[in-house]
Amino acid sequence: MIIATWNINGVKARIEGLTAWLAARSPDIACLQEIKSVDETFPREPIEALGYHVETHGQKGFNGVALLSKQKPLSIEPRLPGDTADEHSRFIEGVWDFNGQTLRVASLYLPNGNPIGTEKFTYKLAWMDRLIAHAKQSLAREEMLVLAGDYNVIPEPADAANPAVWRDDALFQPETRAAYRRLLNLGLADGLRASTDAAGTYTFWDYQAGAWQKNNGIRIDHLLLSPEAQVQLVSAGIDSHVRGWEKPSDHVPVLIELA
């Protein structure tokens, strides 16, 4: 089984690239972020034509997440628990049967948090606290769990081509990285880093200053696995080549394969 995550940065603008990638890679479950579409206008038809079931939690103009799956989920939860006043569409979670086991997969779009010292950074850290609480509760079920998405977190200096550039950015703040470590310390594993510690492994390249051409990237898209999912992990990788396609997202797909 292949599970992928991709911040698509506007699904309507990238639908041709998305369907081309789905047809070529054929993931069993694809988690999308920043779909920038309300549910009613999400371009589901060309995706469904490829055999995918579509679940969305959209928002007009920004944010928005989706789950695309070859098998219809048993259930869907469209919000991260912990704050009923939070109207941002940043989380959707589905449950599937995987060879007689429960598989729970979430697509999440963690807040950016910039600029530091504003309510946006406070919101980011509070959202991370909610995610940690939810993950702790989910892990107690002892199920296969994959928390996939754009975390807007650079975990380590090795996850940036030029760490010094990000020193004053919310993605690389000590508080941000500490919250990410607290999440991992619950017993989750970074699927990609469980497979490789290679340098120059990035998932995002800015549109400015030739970042893609210079490989001036950062790694902020992650798939975190519960112990029950970790034992099924076969491989992980990044489809970085799609960054070179016409009208690309500034992110690329990240994938894991489970046995």
Cα separation, 172 vs 153, in Å, equals 6
The pLDDT of 44-71, averaged and rounded, is 97
Catalytic residue among 52, 134, 150, 169: 150
184-186-191-195 Cα dihedral, nearest 10 degrees? 80
State the total domains in the chain. 1
Task: Check if the beta carbon of residue 156 is closer than 8 Å to that of residue 102.
Answer: no
7 is known to lie in a ligand binding site: yes
Q: What is the DSSP letter of 213?
A: H
28 is known to lie in a ligand binding site: no
Residue type (1 letter), 178: A
Cα separation, 5 vs 23, in Å, equals 15
**166 SS3 class:** helix
The pLDDT of 141-149, averaged and rounded, is 98
Categorize the per-residue pLDDT at 48 as very low, low, confident or very high, splitting at 50, 70 and 90. Answer: very high
Cα separation, 67 vs 229, in Å, equals 18
250 is known to lie in a ligand binding site: yes
Nearest to 103, CA basis, from 245, 205, 3, 242: 3
Per-residue model confidence as pLDDT tens digits over 101-140: 999 999 999 999 999 999 999 999 999 999 999 999 999 9
- 72: CATH: 3.60.10.10
Say whether pLDDT at 252 is over 90.
yes
150 is known to lie in a ligand binding site: yes
Question: What pLDDT is attached to residue 99?
Answer: 87
Strand-strand pairing, 254-258 and 2-7? antiparallel
Catalytic (active site) residue 150: yes
Element (H, E) at 128: helix 119-139
Say whether pLDDT at 212 is over 90.
yes
- pTM for this prediction: 0.98
Q: Which of 74-78, 99-103, 172-176 has the least mean pLDDT? A: 99-103
Catalytic (active site) residue 197: no
251 is known to lie in a ligand binding site: yes
Catalytic (active site) residue 151: no
Catalytic residue among 57, 134, 222, 251: 251
Question: What pLDDT is attached to residue 158?
Answer: 96
User: Where are the strands (E) in the chain, listed by range?
Assistant: 2-7, 29-33, 53-57, 65-69, 75-77, 91-98, 101-109, 144-150, 189-190, 221-225, 233-238, 254-258
Say whether pLDDT at 165 is over 90.
yes
Catalytic residue among 28, 52, 57, 109: 109
What is the domain range of residue 210?
Answer: 2-258
Question: What pLDDT is attached to residue 229?
Answer: 97
**39 SS3 class:** helix
